[in-house]
């Protein structure tokens, strides 16, 4: 008998963490950070003993899938970490960045408490840079796509291309129970068949059980090509009126897609005399990793890599590493495009740019990624007239665009199409979605696949597979 218990991303989109136990072998699939409204849960106990875990499998290096790994190590995990090489490389820079943010946040709260004479009550950071370094001293097994890994004589796992971000995978687990061979697939986060800068989602597998994310289970995206057009028009309109464009962007994947489009615009002479800043040390590092792992880029881009050496650089792009360079961007008050983190505006340099530009209706703010409930980005999308940045009240007067077709997540149709390519599915378990997303997704799955059982997973519920 095998069991799965979800300790995160059940009833919410963040904190991915699923514990699979097969004949006494314990495999944790992802160990992500909770974000937005539920971020206090990061400080709670895991609900299982980290010293008991034999294997930690990482589907991809987004922080909501890896963000609690250093905490897991700090609390005694000593098993084997398995992930693709690109995921390991990306995870290192993402976790270093996460540790820096945790420490910065701690310092802000500590100083405030100190002023109130209550510094002793300040909660310690979840982990620090040493904990991140310790994580990468653990045994790490690098997985290749489509290569079966034997965890024991009755348990095997295979990584498959998830088409989500660089290095991303969905995981096929195969185990032998008595005379029967059983399979369960964990989707991690899945993209779609055709992506701009990475390979598309693999399909056509056989499985009894599917754990699938539901982020966009309730909706359809515009196509990526419509979104590219919408994005270009928003930029041209803003630049033509002498304004500036702010783009809060996730360091990985979205930033590279945006750079790729801007590069095409630049080569088509649509961005003459426009200053473009990539104002994120993390995104700059992440972009460099695309040169190290060209194998993962799609065919079209592989040609670009050979031809241009780096498919993401072009003449009017400035990379700003230091804080001084970032502050100097304030001197550029028109015809400027700024790409900065964080993607959901919960911190990072984008906030500084909001202070200088969000109040001005000549400017634009373009959201190109999903905004979790409770984040500043979500508040702006939901129509906030004012926001608070570092205690300063700022009017939201810039034109706000939400362009959702760039999503690294497949939409409802992509996911239904993916499910339809599987053979032998008996039960589908829905995770990684808010209640309204999983409920809507359950209804459409039931309508399309009437022989398949569908269940919305609750946190810490025991599922027997």
> Which residues make up the interface to Zn ion (CB under 5 A)?
62, 189
**Closest distance between Zn ion and the C-beta of residue 157, in Å?**
19
**Closest distance between Zn ion and the C-beta of residue 168, in Å?**
7
Residue length of the chain: 465
Residue 35 or 301: which CB sits closer to Zn ion?
Answer: 35
User: What stretch of H or E contains 329?
Assistant: none
- Exposure string over 407-417, b if 16+ CB within 10 A, otherwise e: bbbbbbebbbb
Q: What are phi and psi of 415, to 5 degrees?
A: -70, -40
328 CB-near residues (< 8 Å, 6+ apart): 320
Give the β-pairing of 2-8 and 462-464.
antiparallel
Residue 189 or 414: which CB sits closer to Zn ion?
Answer: 189
Q: Which of 106, 105, 97 is nearest to 124 (CA)?
A: 106
Residue 189 or 257: which CB sits closer to Zn ion?
Answer: 189
**Closest distance between Zn ion and the C-beta of residue 185, in Å?**
17
d(CA 63, CA 11): 18
Residue 62 or 195: which CB sits closer to Zn ion?
Answer: 62
d(CA 17, CA 2): 17
Residue 171 or 276: which CB sits closer to Zn ion?
Answer: 171
Residue 93 or 151: which CB sits closer to Zn ion?
Answer: 93
Q: What are phi and psi of 413, to 5 degrees?
A: -65, -45
DSSP state at residue 223 = P
**Closest distance between Zn ion and the C-beta of residue 372, in Å?**
12
Q: What are phi and psi of 83, to 5 degrees?
A: -165, 165
Residue 94 or 376: which CB sits closer to Zn ion?
Answer: 94
**Closest distance between Zn ion and the C-beta of residue 414, in Å?**
14
Can you tell me which residue has the tokens 């699939």?
A: 29
Residue 71 or 164: which CB sits closer to Zn ion?
Answer: 164
**Closest distance between Zn ion and the C-beta of residue 35, in Å?**
11
**Closest distance between Zn ion and the C-beta of residue 213, in Å?**
8
**Closest distance between Zn ion and the C-beta of residue 62, in Å?**
3
196 CB-near residues (< 8 Å, 6+ apart): 224, 257, 260, 298
Residue 316: both structure tokens together: 């009017």
Neighbours of 222 (CB within 10 A): 16
d(CA 181, CA 236): 56
**Closest distance between Zn ion and the C-beta of residue 58, in Å?**
11
Residue 189 or 304: which CB sits closer to Zn ion?
Answer: 189
Q: Which of 349, 310, 351, 347 is nearest to 326 (CA)?
A: 349
């Amino acid at each position: 008998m095998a069991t799965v218990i979800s300790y995160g991303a059940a009833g919410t989109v963040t904190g991915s963490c699923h514990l699979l136990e097969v004949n006494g072998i314990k495999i944790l699939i992802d160990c992500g950070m909770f974000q937005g409204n539920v971020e206090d849960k990061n400080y709670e106990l895991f609900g299982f003993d980290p010293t008991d875990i034999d294997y930690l499998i990482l589907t991809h290096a987004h922080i909501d899938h890896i963000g609690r790994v250093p905490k897991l190590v700090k609390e005694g995990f000593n098993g084997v970490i398995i992930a693709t090489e690109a995921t390991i490389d990306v995870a290192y820079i993402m976790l270093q960045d996460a540790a820096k943010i945790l420490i910065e946040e701690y310092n802000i709260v500590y100083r405030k408490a100190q002023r109130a004479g209550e510094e002793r009550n300040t909660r310690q950071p979840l982990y620090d840079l040493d904990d991140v370094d310790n994580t990468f001293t653990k045994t790490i097994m690098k997985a290749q796509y489509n290569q079966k890994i034997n965890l024991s004589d009755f348990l095997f796992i295979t990584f498959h291309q998830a088409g989500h971000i660089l290095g991303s995978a969905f995981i096929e687990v195969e185990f032998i129970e008595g005379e029967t061979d059983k399979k369960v697939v964990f989707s991690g986060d899945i993209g779609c068949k055709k992506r701009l800068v990475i390979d598309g989602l693999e399909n056509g597998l056989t499985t009894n059980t599917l754990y699938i994310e539901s982020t966009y289970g309730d909706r359809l995206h515009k196509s990526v090509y419509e979104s590219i057009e919408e994005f270009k028009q928003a930029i041209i309109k803003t630049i033509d009126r002498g304004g500036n464009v702010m783009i809060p962007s996730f360091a990985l994947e979205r930033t590279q897609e945006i750079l790729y489009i801007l590069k095409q615009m630049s080569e088509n002479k649509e961005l003459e005399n426009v200053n473009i800043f990539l104002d994120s040390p993390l995104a700059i590092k992440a972009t460099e990793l695309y040169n190290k792992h060209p194998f993962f880029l799609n065919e079209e881009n592989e040609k670009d890599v050979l031809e241009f050496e780096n498919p993401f650089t072009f003449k009017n792009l400035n990379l700003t590493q230091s804080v001084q360079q970032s502050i100097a961007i304030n001197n550029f008050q028109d015809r400027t495009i700024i790409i900065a983190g964080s993607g959901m505006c919960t911190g990072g340099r984008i906030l500084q740019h909001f202070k200088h530009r969000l109040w001005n209706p000549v400017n634009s703010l373009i959201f190109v990624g999903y905004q979790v409930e409770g984040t500043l980005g979500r508040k702006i999308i939901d129509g906030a007239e004012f926001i608070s940045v570092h205690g300063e009240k700022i009017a939201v007067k810039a034109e706000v665009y939400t362009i959702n077709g760039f999503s690294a997540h497949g939409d409802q149709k992509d996911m239904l199409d993916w499910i339809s390519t599987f053979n032998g599915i008996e039960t589908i378990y829905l995770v990684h979605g808010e209640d309204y997303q999983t409920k809507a997704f359950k209804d459409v799955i039931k309508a399309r696949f009437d022989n398949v059982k569908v269940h919305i997973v609750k946190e810490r519920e025991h599922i027997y597979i």
